[in-house]
């Protein structure tokens, strides 16, 4: 199957459709022939920098978009994208953990690059743009030093090619190492997105997240025209759809919500949009129905995680039925993708559970990574004895084979001896007309052990409901022990760079006296 690894797929497309547009970023479009030639230069130039086996190259998502270096053909140079807009101490920690040899950075992130250079004095710094960095080399100079001859590498399915760091919502980020086999795109999966001969895809997600890097890999493997945005701003998304005739996009739920709330959304021609793929965090049925009604497009959900290098299951477009008899499926994550096994196991014993029972979701697939970078204990805990990857998510599978993700195992709330999964409470509160977003966490409580606590962001301009009104709204929809015991109304919910709500931050803030509202 090596002929369909991404490097070889780009080679094929450069030969079969050389003049077709491949990538558009920051006003520049490269055809597949030009993209192949450009990445040859990047790969050969990096080869001269990767002078020792395993030398690691890191690129913040901005320069990765501009340079088109998502595809590396040198097996000794491992691409490691990360977010340099984080705090300097976190940047330095990740850089040291990854043992970086090469850092590719945009000029806007010069201060962050200095932090990395301070932590790793021997790191080679490549700057995209103009920046005063001592000892740094320019991106254009580096690319010019490369040759246009195909280095012919990237065939070994077990060669490490990409290292992503987990979002760190529960502690220090962990490096997840992917090999070519993990990133292989099964052509059967392209049918899921209903791609056509003239499809144009949009990626506004950061490439340091599996949603962004995975969508990029999928679209390039399918031979599409891929439009990359440097940042996810709803106005830029709407403008790009109208300008380029975008037919397909991958958006996280928070991005979909921001797009729907765009004041001048109706002024943009979004009629070309056919399919939105979404994932990376939960979405409520209310939001799904509103998206389909407003944007008049089809939706496809992907459920997965960094450690699975993309999706395990998918809720296909035909399963999205917001106003029909199958509305209940909007709460589902769909069915397993080809070549993927999904089971429900007992959280403690790892024994398989019967149909309909709730437990931990586990999976087995060649897309699963072998483990974490330099984390032997965490790697051992990641897998069951028979080779299934523990997702850390709770859920069940119904009689038709549809997976329902209940919540993160660690986010489950135990109140008065009863188990409460936050996503169930969130789905109910999200139906209130004044609620734009909601996150539910468990906070310490002397009487109940944990108190079900909802943190709510209101719709702009909505009349502010009282706490009692919101609790009453849940009375007929939830069992008594599941109803929120506390409700906090906030102006903004904390998120990481990939759009996930940081529930740990909410627990830390609201669990202290300063967190009371």
Residues 383, 351: one domain? yes
CATH number of the domain enclosing 371: 2.30.38.10
Domain end position, chosen among 379, 409, 439: 409
Tell me the pLDDT tens digit for each residue of 449-493.
Answer: 899 999 999 999 899 999 999 999 998 889 899 999 999 999 999
Dihedral of alpha carbons 410, 413, 419, 420, sign: negative
Structurally, how many domains does the chain consist of? 3
Task: Give the C-alpha distances (Å, rounded to integers) separating 203 from 183, 229, 264, 367, 495.
Answer: 17, 6, 21, 21, 19
Residue indicated by tokens 């199958």: 326
Q: 116 in a domain, yes or no?
A: yes
Q: Is 452 inside any structural domain?
A: yes
Per-residue pLDDT tens over the stretch 58-80:
654 333 333 333 333 333 345 66
Considering the domain architecture, whether residues 356 and 447 belong to the same structural domain is answered as no
CA–CA distance, 305 with 311 (Å, rounded to integer): 7
Regarding whether 367 and 466 lie in a shared domain, the answer is no
Mark which of 120, 150, 181 sits at the end of a domain: 181
Q: Are residues 393 and 459 in the same domain?
A: no
Whole-number pLDDT of residue 373: 93
Say whether both 67 and 90 belong to one domain. Answer: yes
Claim to verify: residue 463 and residue 374 sit in the same structural domain: no
| pTM confidence score | 0.79
159 and 75 in a common domain: yes
Q: Which residues contact 416 (CB under 8 A, 6 or more apart)?
A: 448, 449, 481
Last residue of a domain, one of 141, 166, 181: 181
Residue 60: closest CA among 11, 150, 129, 155: 129
- Answer yes or no: is 256 within a domain: no
Does residue 154 sit within a domain?
Answer: yes
C-alpha 40/C-alpha 69 separation (Å) is: 10
Q: What is the CATH number of the domain that holds 482?
A: 3.30.300.30
So what's the pLDDT on residue 234? 93
> What is the mean pLDDT of each successive set of 10 residues along the chain, which is 517 residues long?
69 96 94 94 81 54 36 43 59 83 83 84 86 81 89 78 73 83 80 94 89 91 94 93 97 88 95 93 80 94 91 94 88 93 93 94 93 92 94 94 87 83 89 93 88 94 93 90 94 80 87 45
Please report whether residue 205 resides in a domain. Answer: no
Residue 219 falls within a domain, yes or no?
no
Q: Does residue 136 sit in the same domain as residue 155?
A: yes
Residues 363 and 444 in one domain: no
Q: Is 168 within a domain? A: yes
- What's the confidence (pLDDT) of residue 77? 45
- Determine, yes or no, domain membership for 160: yes
184-205: pLDDT as tens digits: 777 788 899 999 999 999 999 8
pLDDT for res 128: 86
Are 71 and 115 in the same domain? yes
**CATH code, domain carrying 143:** 3.40.50.980
For residues 358 and 489, membership in a common domain is answered with no
- Which domain, by its residues, includes 168? 32-181
| Res 86: pLDDT | 56
Which of 242, 173, 158, 167 shows the shortest CA–CA distance to 205? 167
475 with 359, same domain: the answer is no
């Amino acid at each position: 199957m090596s002929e369909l690894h991404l490097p070889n797929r780009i080679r094929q497309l450069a030969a079969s459709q050389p003049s077709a547009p491949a990538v558009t970023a920051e006003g520049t479009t490269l055809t597949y022939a030009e993209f192949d030639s450009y990445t040859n230069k990047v790969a050969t130039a990096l080869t001269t920098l990767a002078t020792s086996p395993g030398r690691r190259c890191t690129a913040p998502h901005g320069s990765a978009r501009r340079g088109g270096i998502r595809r590396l053909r040198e097996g000794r140079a491992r691409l490691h994208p990360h977010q340099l807009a984080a705090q300097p101490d976190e940047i330095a920690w990740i850089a040291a953990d990854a043992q970086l040899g090469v850092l590719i950075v945009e000029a806007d992130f010069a201060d962050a690059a200095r932090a990395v250079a301070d932590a790793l004095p021997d790191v080679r710094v490549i700057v995209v743009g103009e920046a005063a960095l001592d000892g740094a080399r320019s991106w254009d100079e580096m690319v010019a030093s490369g040759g246009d001859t195909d280095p012919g590498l990237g065939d070994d399915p077990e060669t490490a090619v990409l290292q992503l760091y987990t979002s760190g919502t529960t502690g220090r980020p962990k490096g997840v190492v992917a090999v070519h086999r993990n990133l292989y795109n099964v052509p059967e999966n392209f049918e899921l997105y209903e791609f056509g001969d003239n499809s144009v895809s949009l990626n506004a997600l950061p490439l340091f997240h599996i949603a962004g890097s995975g969508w990029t890999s999928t679209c390039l493997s399918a031979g599409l025209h891929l439009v990359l945005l440097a940042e996810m701003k709803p106005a830029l998304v709407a403008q790009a759809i109208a300008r380029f005739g975008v037919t397909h996009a991958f958006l996280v739920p928070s991005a979909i919500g921001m797009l729907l709330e765009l004041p001048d959304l109706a002024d943009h021609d979004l009629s070309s949009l056919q399919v939105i793929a979404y994932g990376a965090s939960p979405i409520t049925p209310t939001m799904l129905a509103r998206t389909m009604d407003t944007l008049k497009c089809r939706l496809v959900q992907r459920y997965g995680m960094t450690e699975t290098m993309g999706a395990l299951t998918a809720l296909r477009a035909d399963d999205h039925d917001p106003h029909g008899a199958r509305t209940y499926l909007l709460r589902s994550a769909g069915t397993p993708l080809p070549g993927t096994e999904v089971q429900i196991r007992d959280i403690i014993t790892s024994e398989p559970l019967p149909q309909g029972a709730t437990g931990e979701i586990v999976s087995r697939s060649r897309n699963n990574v072998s483990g974490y970078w330099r984390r032997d204990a965490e790697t051992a805990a990641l897998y069951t004895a028979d080779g299934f990857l523990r997702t850390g998510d709770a859920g069940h599978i119904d009689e038709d084979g549809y997976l329902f993700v209940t919540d993160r195992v660690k986010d489950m709330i135990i109140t008065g001896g009863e188990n409460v999964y936050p996503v169930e409470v969130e789905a109910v509160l999200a139906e209130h007309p004044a609620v734009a977003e909601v996150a539910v966490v468990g906070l310490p409580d002397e009487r109940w052990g944990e108190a079900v606590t909802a943190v709510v962001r209101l719709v702009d301009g909505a009349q502010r409901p009282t706490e009692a009104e919101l609790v009453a709204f849940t009375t007929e929809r939830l069992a008594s022990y599941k109803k929120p015991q506390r409700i906090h109304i906030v102006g903004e919910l904390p998120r990481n760079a990939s759009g996930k709500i940081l529930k740990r931050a909410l627990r830390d803030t609201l669990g202290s006296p300063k967190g009371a509202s």
